[in-house]
Structure 1
Amino acid sequence: MRHVVTGLLLSVVLNSPLQAAEPEQVPTVHALALFGDPALPAGFDHLPHVNPDAPRGGSMSQAALGSFDSTNPFIVRGTPASGLMQVYDTLLESNPNEPFTMYGLLAGGIRLDPDRRWVEFDLRPEARFQDGEPVLADDVIFSFETLTTKGSPFYRAYYADVTEVVAVDRDTVRFELGESESRELPLIIGQMPVLPSHFWADRDFEAVTRDPLIGSGPYRIVEVSPGRRIVYQRDEDYWGRDLGLNRGRYNIDRLEYDYYRDQSITLEAFKAGLIDFRVESSASNWATAYDFPALQDGLIKQMVVPDGQPAGMQAFVMNQREPKFADVRVREAITLAFDFEWLNRNLFYGAYEATDSYFENSEMEASGLPTEEELALLSPWRSELPARVFDEPLPIEQPDDLRQRLYKAMDLLRAAGYEARDGVMINTATGRPLNIEILLYSTQFERIAQPLLRNLSRIGIQGRVRTVDVNQYLNRLRSFDFDMVVGSFPQSANPGNEQREFWGSEYADRPQSRNLIGLKSPVIDALVDDLIAASSRQAMDTAAHALDRVLRWGFYVVPQYHLAAYRIAAWDKFGYHQPFPEYMLDLSSWWVDPERARVIENRQRNR
C-alpha cells in the first residue's frame, strides 16, 4: 500500500506569465500542492501520523489470494506477487494526511514552469539503489521510456502528455509537457517508480521473471516461492531512512505474504496465528466469524478505520464488446434485477450503503438536474446523448419494490426486441436467448452473484456463475473474454489521467487496460479531457458531475455497495499512532511491540 497511484491534480498559485519561464527564474521547492502551500515546511522532521521513535524489528504476515509467477509488477505478462512496490522509490511521495500534496523523495528539489510546460527534478545525491549504485537522471529517463513502451498500458495512459525527457545534468531531469492541459501531470510524473538502468541492461524487461529484482526502496526481496510465498526484508542500508518523509516508517524488519486459494481459508489461517493482519472484505465475517478465544482473550483487535477517499464504483461490469449489451434498454433491465436491500438485510448485516455514483461519497457525485455549468459541457453533445441526461434528475428513480422493478425490466426488454417464450427471453431478430455468464475468481462473490441471477431468471434471462483460478481469470480479463465481471473503479479526491484508461476509447481494445466496459464514446472522451484540464476545484467538480451523469445514464454497470472505511483485524502485537491519517491507510508507519509480540508468540506456542 506504499505507493498508491491516485489521480491528483496540480495547482501552483502563481500568476501565469506571457511566456514560459526559464529554469533559473523558477524557484526550487520541496513539494507541490493543489491549493495554497504544502502543510509541511521544507526540512520537516517527520510526518504527523508516525512515531519517529518507533522501535524496529519483528515481522508482519499477510494473506494474498490466488497465486503469482512474477516479481515484475510493471508488465502485462505474468501474475505479479503482492508487495512488490515496496522495493521501489519514486521521485515524489504523498502525505496520507493531505489529499493534494506531493513531497520530494528521490527528488530533493522541484521546479515547475508556471505555465506547466515543463518540470525539473533535482535528484538527491545520496540516493542509491540497493546494490549501492547512485540514482541518476539517466535512470529516470530509462524508467520513463521503458514503462511507456514495454510496461502496462497504465503507464502509457498516465504519461501520454509528456513530449520529451532529457537529462539536464547527472542529477537533474527535465520533463517537457508540451501543450498539455493536464494540471496533474507533474504530480503523476513524480509518482513514477524509478528503475535501475544498469540492472536491466542485459535483461529482457518484458519477460516473466522470478528473480529478486532491485530498486531504491526500503525493502528487498529475500524469498520467492512462486505461487506460495514472497518475503521482503527491511534494507538496513536504505539511503532514505533519515528523510522527514521516512522517519518513523518502515519499522518492521520482515514482511511476509502467504498465498491462499480462498478467502475462507485465509480467515482460518488468521485464527490459527499464521497471518498477523487482515483487511476484512466480508460484512458477515466481520459480524460473526471473529468470536473465538484469541479475540475473547484480548489478543486480537478489530478496528474500523475511516477512509477519506471517494468510494468510487464497485459493480458488475457489462462488457460492451458483446453485442447482447449494445442496447441501453437491455442494460437498464439487468440493473433493475439487483436487489441491494435484500442483500444488505440478509447477507451484510446492514453494513453497507448502496452505490449510485462513479464518484460516490464525494462532492464530485452528480445530483439533481444539470447545472448551467454542466450544461455548458453537455449541450454540444445533446444530439448524441439520451434526453434523460438533461431532463431527469439523479439519483435515478426506480421502484422500491423488486416485483415492480422486474415488471419494468420486462417492458424494457420487449422494447429492445425481446419476447418471452416458455419463460426464456428470446431476441426476435436473431432467435437467440439472452444468456449471461458472470466470471469470478473467488467463491466469496458467488453469494452476491447468485441472487442477481435468480432475479434475472424471473424475467427470462438465463445466467450462470463461472469461478476459475486467478491465473485463468486474469488471462480472460486481459483479453476481455467475459460477459460480466466484478469490476472496481477507485477514485481519488482529484481524478485525472487515470480516467482515460477507465473510460477512454483508445483503451477499449488494449489488453490489460482498465476500460473493462469497452467504452468507445467521443462524448465520454471529451468529458474526460474536460476533467483533466480543469483549472480549479469548481471546474473539476463540474466536469466530474457531467461525466458521472453520462456514465450513470448509460447503465454500463450494475452498481453494488460501498463502505467508507477499512475493517481491520490484527493480532495485538503492533503499535501505531492515532488518529490514523485521513486519506490513506499507511501500514508503513506501524511497528511491532516486542513485549506484546512475545506474549502472543508464547500463547501460540503453547496451544
Structure 2
Amino acid sequence: MRKENFLNLRAALAGITLAFAANSAQAESAHGIAMYGDPALPPDFVSLPYANPDAPKGGKVVFGNTGGFDSLNPFALKGTSPWQLRFWSYESLMGRSWDEPFTLYGLLAESVETPEDRSWVEFTLREEARFSDGSPVTIEDVIWSYETLGTQGHPRYRGFWTKVDRIEQTGPRSLRLTFNTEDRELALIAGMRPILKKAQWEGKDFGSDTVEGAPIGTGAYVVSAYEPGRFVTLRRNPDYWGRDLPLQRGTQNFDEMRIDFFGDETVLFEAFKAGELSAVREFNADKWDSVYSFPAVTRGDVVKSEIPHQRPSGMTGLVMNTRRAPLDDWRVREALLLAFNFEYINGTVTGGVQPRITSYFSGSALGMQPGAASGKVRALLEPFADSLLPGTLEGYTLPQGDGSKRNRGNLRKAMKLLEDAGWTVTDGVLRNGDGEALNLTVLIRQGDGEMKTVTEIYARALERLGITLTAETVDNAQYVERGTGYDFDLTRYRMELSLSPGNEQRYYWGRDGVTQPGSRNLMGMDSPAAEAMIDAMLTAKAPEDFTAAVRALDRVLTAGRYVIPFWSFDVGRIAHIKEMRYPDRLPVYGDRTGFMPDVWWYEAD
C-alpha cells in the first residue's frame, strides 16, 4: 500500500483529534467543512490531490451492467435506473474529497457557514452555477429539491428531511437549514443532496417510473441516447458550468460514456474480452489470476490495475431476512452460520486467496476489538444487556471450520442449536413442533454465477441437517422489486462502510426499515442498542467517544448474526484498455465512487 496514503490518513485522523478539542465561538464562512477538524485542502487549492489537473479531455469509453433498466430517474423509489446516473449527471451544494474520512468542498455553493454546535448550516450559491440546459440554479430550485426529495424521493433521502426544522432563503443567493435534532453530521449531509430543476416537474409526477424524462441536473454529463434494457449513452456537456472549479479540475475527462446491459456476468466478460467494453471490475481474486490471460492482456492492449484502499471491510455475504420465521430466531441464524463451510467455499470460489470479513468495520481502527467489551464500549452497551444477543458483551467470533468438505464439527453444533430452537429431524427432514419443514430460498439476480455456485455448495451442507435450500433466479427488475419489498429468505448482500460513519447507519440498520419499503435494512433488524450506538456516534465530541460508539455498534451488528459473511475486498481490481489512464496518487478510499471514471482520462499512444 502506498506510503503517502498512510501519511494522509494519519494526518486526517490527527485533524479529527484536534477538531474535537477545538471550539469556535461563532460561525464563519468557509470553502469547505469536515466532520471533525478543518478541511485538509486550503481555500486556494488547485485540484483534488488524487486528480490530474492537466488530464486531457476526450475519448469514448463503454462500461457494462448486468440486468436492465426501466427508468432514468435515480431519485424515485419506483423503477430501476442505471446506478451510475446519480453520480455522473447530478451535483450537490458541496462535493466530497475521497482522500479524507469525511470532508466536503464547495461545488454549487461557493461557501458554507455553521456554528460550533452545528444546529444550522447556511450555503451561498455560486452565481455561475447552471443546469445542463443553461438555466441558472436558484435558491428556489434548491429549496424545492430538498422538499421534494425529502417527501417524494427515494427513502434514502427522507430520513434527513425529518430532522430539518425549517429551510429558508436568507439572501439573493443564500439559504439556511435549521435542524430539530442534535446531530453534528447534518450540516454535511445537507451539502450532499442532489439539486434538480423545479420548473421541469411542474404538473408532473416526480415518482413516476417511466423511462421518459430524466431529471435535469447540473452535472457534466447528460443522457444523449438510450434504449430501455440495452444501453444508455451520456455525453460531456461542452458548456458544463463547473469545469474550472478546483474540485472538478482534472475530472470528468471522457467525451462520451456508454453503459451496455447484459443478461449475466459471463456474457459481459466475453464482451470485454472481445473489445466491446473498455473496463471491468473483478471481485474474485482467483479469477483475476486465472482468467485474465486472454490475448488482449498478453499483447498489452488490456491492463490489469490493482487499487489499494484504507476503508473498512464493510459487509458482503448472505443476508437473512429476520422478518420471516424461523430466521427471527438467533439460534437458527447461528446454525446457518455454522453450516456455511467458509473455508471450503472460499477455496472453491476464490482459491482461498481472499480473507474472510470478520465484522462490519473490520480492517480499520473502527472495528470491534477481540474478547469481551471493556471501557467506553462496555459502558455504552451495558444499559441494553438484557436485550443483547450472546457474544455482544462477552465477545463473538465467526464459526471456523476444519477446512474439510464435510465440516462435521460445525454441523453437530448447528444441529444442537436447531434442537434448542424446537427443530428435529424426522425421516431426513428438519421439522418444527407443528410438523413444518425448514425450507429456505436464496434470491439471486440473473447472471450472478458466483452466487449460484455458493448456493449449490451451501445447499448440500444444509441437506445434512435436513434443511432444503433452493436458488431462485430472477431478472433485474424482479430482483430490485423483491428486495425493495423484502420478499426473500436470503439474498446476496453488499454494504460498503466509510471511515466516518454517520446518519446513513440509521438507513442501514434503523427500525424504520423493518416496515418501510426500499431501505437498506434488508435483514429487518430492530435493535434499541444499535439505535443508541448511532445516536452516540452522531453526538460524540471526543475522538475516543466516537470510536467507542462505532466499535459498540460493530459488536451489535456482528453478534446479531444477520449476515453470513463472505470474503473481503482488500484491494480493487480493474481491467481496462491501455488508453484509459489514472493518476499515480491514489485516494484513501481507493476504487470507490469518485475514482473511476471521475479522475480517469483517455490517452492514445
1:205 and 2:206 equivalent? yes
> What is the CA distance between 1:555 and its match in structure 2?
1.3
Question: Which of the residues 418, 424, 432 maps onto 2:423?
Answer: 418
Tell me which amino acid in the other structure corresponds to 1:149.
Answer: T
Measure, in 2, the Cα distance between the counterparts of 1:181 and 1:339: 44
Measure, in 2, the Cα distance between the counterparts of 1:256 and 1:314: 28
TM-score (norm 1): 0.92
Once structures 1 and 2 are overlaid, which stretch shifts more, 398-407 or 261-270? 398-407
Indicate if the aligned counterparts of 2:342 and 2:566 stay in contact, CA closer than 8 A.
yes
1:181 and 2:186 equivalent? no
**Once the two structures are superposed, what CA deviation does each residue of 1:525-577 show, in whole Å capped at 9, x if it has no partner?**
22222222222332121111111112222212211111211110001111221
Residue 5 of structure 1 corresponds to none
* Gapped regions of structure 1 (runs ≥ 5): 1-8, 597-607
Change (3 A) 1:12 1:193: farther
For this pair of structures, how many residues does the alignment match? 577
* Gapped regions of structure 2 (runs ≥ 5): 1-15
Residue 558 of structure 1 corresponds to 564
RMSD: 1.7
Secondary structure of the 2:164 match is: coil
Measure, in 2, the Cα distance between the counterparts of 1:16 and 1:49: 31
Residue 9 of structure 2 corresponds to none
Tell me which amino acid in the other structure corresponds to 1:411.
Answer: K
> What is the CA distance between 1:400 and its match in structure 2?
3.7
Change (3 A) 1:212 1:161: closer
Measure, in 2, the Cα distance between the counterparts of 1:537 and 1:66: 43
Q: Which runs of 4+ in 1 moved over 6 A?
A: none
Tell me which amino acid in the other structure corresponds to 1:538.
Answer: E
Tell me which amino acid in the other structure corresponds to 2:540.
Answer: A
1:384-533 equivalences under 5 Å are: 384-390=387-393, 392-396=394-398, 398=400, 400=402, 402-428=407-433, 430-441=434-445, 442-533=448-539
Indicate if the aligned counterparts of 2:72 and 2:82 stay in contact, CA closer than 8 A.
yes
Indicate if the aligned counterparts of 2:147 and 2:161 stay in contact, CA closer than 8 A.
no
**Once the two structures are superposed, what CA deviation does each residue of 1:307-354 show, in whole Å capped at 9, x if it has no partner?**
222111112111111111122111100000111211222221222111
Q: Aligned residues: percent identity?
A: 39
Measure, in 1, the Cα distance between the counterparts of 2:192 and 2:476: 28
1:58 and 2:59 equivalent? yes
Measure, in 2, the Cα distance between the counterparts of 1:113 and 1:318: 43
Indicate if the aligned counterparts of 1:351 and 1:563 stay in contact, CA closer than 8 A.
no
Tell me which amino acid in the other structure corresponds to 1:380.
Answer: P
Measure, in 1, the Cα distance between the counterparts of 2:159 and 2:175: 21
> What is the CA distance between 1:399 and its match in structure 2?
5.5
Once structures 1 and 2 are overlaid, which stretch shifts more, 399-408 or 288-297? 399-408
Tell me which amino acid in the other structure corresponds to 2:388.
Answer: L
> What is the CA distance between 1:15 and its match in structure 2?
2.1
Residue 602 of structure 1 corresponds to none
Measure, in 2, the Cα distance between the counterparts of 1:65 and 1:301: 22
> What is the CA distance between 1:212 and its match in structure 2?
4.1
> What is the CA distance between 1:142 and its match in structure 2?
0.6
Change (3 A) 1:232 1:397: closer
Indicate if the aligned counterparts of 2:441 and 2:490 stay in contact, CA closer than 8 A.
yes
> What is the CA distance between 1:13 and its match in structure 2?
6.2
Residue 601 of structure 1 corresponds to none
1:147 and 2:157 equivalent? no
Once structures 1 and 2 are overlaid, which stretch shifts more, 518-527 or 470-479? 518-527
Residue 122 of structure 2 corresponds to 120
Tell me which amino acid in the other structure corresponds to 1:590.
Answer: W
TM-score (norm 2): 0.92
Change (3 A) 1:387 1:274: closer
Question: Which of the residues 364, 367, 375 maps onto 1:365?
Answer: 367
1:89 and 2:91 equivalent? yes
> What is the CA distance between 1:358 and its match in structure 2?
1.3
Measure, in 2, the Cα distance between the counterparts of 1:545 and 1:328: 21
Residue 582 of structure 1 corresponds to 588
Indicate if the aligned counterparts of 2:35 and 2:184 stay in contact, CA closer than 8 A.
no
Measure, in 1, the Cα distance between the counterparts of 2:467 and 2:170: 62
Change (3 A) 1:183 1:450: same
Tell me which amino acid in the other structure corresponds to 1:423.
Answer: G
**Once the two structures are superposed, what CA deviation does each residue of 1:110-142 show, in whole Å capped at 9, x if it has no partner?**
111111111000000000111111111111111
Tell me which amino acid in the other structure corresponds to 2:545.
Answer: A
